[in-house]
A and B are shown apart, each in its own frame.
Chain A
């Protein structure tokens, strides 16, 4: 793992009668896209608010690029909350400039940069329109721009794709990836597991205020592998399929006499499994079926519920 950009250590946050975060520690590597997952009420928003210094933890610490998190880091963070909105009666451009100014960008600079972004997103024509005239999706675009206009080192997106159509979701994804490539670290909170698989490098799963899982997406998938494989094969008529090494769960005929198998292997090593399979026939393709993040998510959350 590369050097952590954000280091949350043993953070606990208690509200009047419930524990929102219970000794949570996470490490967000620099220049990664870090998915913060968890069911509703798990404590994601509490953690995000602590990162944004909207609330302070009861105990524990947060390091921002090695330094203790403080007010001076506010201008280095861009935050797109889940519950987001704009002043309805205000003009789009004016409002965007205002929000950028609050992040410490001077007025002139803010105007210049915002116009560039507006041009890139093809919404420059909205500059002088009132927010209430725009659709929800249009407003989301503006909020996204406002979040990133001050070139923050850390971006925090809470359910960024809700309310966007698929075309704009794509646009946003590309933008997020390119921001990471330019050096930003992204924390990404979502329920949408498909988008997690697509863009996250690392994830942490939080449930009931506790961290359940953390690691790179690949490593976690490996960790939860079920040793299932999908194999296309020209079966050798004489081969014995009742081997000790694997169990065929599904078997179906595909065109030209080849078969598709789904099998569970008892062997840890893929090479050994291949050896066994080669004996069974002429191998066309071989793929390990890794669990989806969605499956892991549901499995882990329901496991901790039963515990």
Chain B
């Protein structure tokens, strides 16, 4: 076996055998599913503690206009003193008191919400909307417009976006789902690249501080050691993702066959799974119609595309950052000293996350385009754009630039690395690093 292979093997095996790797492999999808279930669980949790609100309306405008729902019960009082009701709130009989005082004006415009504990913002909005609506229709009525006409004018609009395929077919897209996937992809790849690139750096620092590096580079070239480490750890990352995808898929199949006995597992097998499926399919109060909609959404996502691109960008972004981090690791004596060198390289990635709103807002805009072409940000931004379909030539350009940059950075890093690993106990400056490039 050639030497780089031996190094890759060691780096890979020592990491994959670690208990932390095995735990993360199984915990990852569960954590992810848990994270997505959280909102649903919270919803269930909060609805169980229904809040009762006393309403004292001196204007008599809003009698029975606030409808009790699963979160709030409204109890109406007349001819009660405010202080009396306040006392009841104090005693905890009511969670809050909505007090609409008498006004000099013909139309009430003010209300007070009195409570012992902080009430949720949603309640305020709920009341505000109801009052506004009532006052508006009252005013319209006063100006002679029939409320029925008003109601017939008011209408809920739901827009489903249909995009034309290359081959002219129509495909319904679900913007919200795409947003969610975009964010999740961006965050996963951000953490993945940083986690694995930092562990390359830690590995290099470890070899340097425990002084094994000199023994090793008397047997292999520094470049071989560096590349062996980068490739070995990259393979660990890929293994982790493959296992996660398989596990998630298994969970999905298990779950869907539980929820949808009528669905043929074969058709499910034919379509790819994703983490998002869990979130969508575990929302409470599932009706058959809702569930089938969920599966329709899941099937509308092009997972093959996303997974393939995820791996390409993970490998590219990882190689780029790992080689930079390896060089930084070689130049310092401990992790604390590495911070000043890491920062300039992490900034672009953080910037890519910061502009994520802009990109999701307009996935084909200028910002999105440039961020997905520049190699230091492209792994994050391009993945965010992916669920919204990206022109093929942009993908090709972005990937080739990424590959070219990581080859260039690896070459630079190798130069720094081979000098750096043999330097002990010296504080390194940027000036010094540039000098090493010329050695």
Contacts and interface: CB of A to CB of B under 8 A. Distances in A.
Contacts of A54: 214, 217-218, 422
A80 B219 CA distance: 11
Given A16-B435, A86-B210, A81 B218 contact: yes
B6 to A, nearest CB: 5
A85 B212 contact: yes
Contact of A52 (B10, B206, B218, B435): B218
A84 interface: yes
Interface in B186-226: 206-207, 210-212, 214-220
B62 to A, nearest CB: 69
B14 interface: yes
Contacts of A16: 435
A68 B21 CA distance: 47
B41 to A, nearest CB: 39
B424 A83 contact: yes
A101 B6 contact: yes
A218 interface: no
Contacts of A98: 6, 10
A74 B219 contact: yes
B171 interface: no
A287 interface: no
Contacts of B206: 87
Contact of A143 (B1, B215, B424): B215
B3 interface: yes
Interface string B1-30: 101001100100010000000000000000
A74 B7 CA distance: 17
A88 interface: yes
Interface string A64-94: 0000000000100101110111111110000
A81 B210 contact: no
Contact of A90 (B1, B14, B422): B14
A135 B14 CA distance: 22
B17 to A, nearest CB: 10
A99 interface: yes
B209 to A, nearest CB: 8
Interface string A41-56: 0000000010011110
B215 A88 contact: no
Contact of A99 (B216, B424, B435): B216
A263 to B, nearest CB: 50
B214 A74 contact: no
B429 to A, nearest CB: 12
Nearest to A77: B218
Interface string B419-432: 00010100000000
A83 B211 contact: yes
A140 B424 CA distance: 20
Contacts of B212: 84-87
A79 B218 contact: yes
Interface in A90-106: 90, 98-99, 101-103
B192 to A, nearest CB: 23
Identify which of B206, B214, B220 gathers the most chain A CB atoms within 10 Å of its CB: B214
Contacts of A143: 215
B22 to A, nearest CB: 16
Contacts of B217: 54
Contacts of A80: 215
B218 A74 contact: yes
A90 B10 CA distance: 10
Contacts of B1: 101
A31 to B, nearest CB: 22
Contacts of B6: 98, 101-102
A77 B420 CA distance: 23
Nearest to A53: B218
A146 interface: yes
B14 A103 contact: no
B219 A81 contact: no
A84 B214 contact: yes
Interface in A129-171: 143, 146
Nearest to B224: A102
A85 B14 contact: no
A81 B214 contact: yes
Contacts of A89: 14
B435 A81 contact: no
Contacts of B422: 49, 54-55
A85 B424 CA distance: 14
Interface string B212-251: 1011111110000000000000000000000000000000
A258 B175 CA distance: 111
Contact of A102 (B3, B210, B424): B3
Identify which of A85, A90, A143 gathers the most chain B CB atoms within 10 Å of its CB: A85
A85 B210 contact: yes
Interface in B17-61: none
A103 B1 CA distance: 12
Contacts of B7: 102
Nearest to B228: A102
A16 B434 CA distance: 12
A87 B210 contact: yes
A143 B218 CA distance: 14
Contacts of B207: 87
A14 to B, nearest CB: 10
Given A89-B14, A98-B10, A83 B219 contact: no
18 contacts: A16-B435, A54-B214, A54-B217, A54-B218, A54-B422, A81-B215, A83-B211, A84-B212, A84-B215, A87-B14, A87-B206, A87-B207, A87-B212, A90-B14, A99-B216, A99-B219, A102-B3, A102-B6
5 closest pairs, A vs B, by CB? Answer: A85-B211, A85-B210, A102-B219, A81-B214, A52-B218
Given A79-B215, A81-B215, A83-B424, 15 more contacts: A52-B218, A54-B218, A79-B214, A81-B211, A85-B211, A86-B212, A87-B14, A87-B206, A87-B210, A98-B6, A102-B3, A102-B6, A102-B7, A103-B219, A143-B215
Interface of B: 1, 3, 6-7, 10, 14, 206-207, 210-212, 214-220, 422, 424, 435
